[in-house]
Amino acid sequence: MDIKIGVTYTAKELDVELPDDSDRDQVLKDVEDALKNDGGVLWLTDKRGRTVGVPAAKVAYVEVGTVVRDRRVGFASA
């Protein structure tokens, strides 16, 4: 599952790829809980076990994608 987090005062966004077995509803709840508390931190752990923390006060938006089963690379059409 892909998560994109927009951070205030920057044009870049953070891309975090969560494990495929992540529960979408739980991720949404975790994001919502972190953002309720302005002094809180949104913590996410990616597929490789790296932990990313973003201060809730700096989060501009969060985009929660679906689980990506296969990623195609190249110019072939399917």
Answer yes or no: is 78 within a domain. Answer: no
Answer yes or no: is 28 within a domain. Answer: yes
The C-alpha atoms of residue 42 and residue 72 are separated, in whole angstroms, by 30
Answer yes or no: is 16 within a domain. Answer: yes
Answer yes or no: is 77 within a domain. Answer: no
**Is the separation of the CB atoms in 5 and 65 below 8 Å?**
no
Is it the case that residue 73 has pLDDT exceeding 80? no
Domain total of the chain? 1
Answer yes or no: is 44 within a domain. Answer: yes
Task: Identify the domain containing residue 24 by its residue range.
Answer: 2-64
Answer yes or no: is 47 within a domain. Answer: yes
**pLDDT tens digits for range 3-45:** 999 999 998 899 999 998 889 899 999 999 988 877 889 999 9
Answer yes or no: is 36 within a domain. Answer: yes
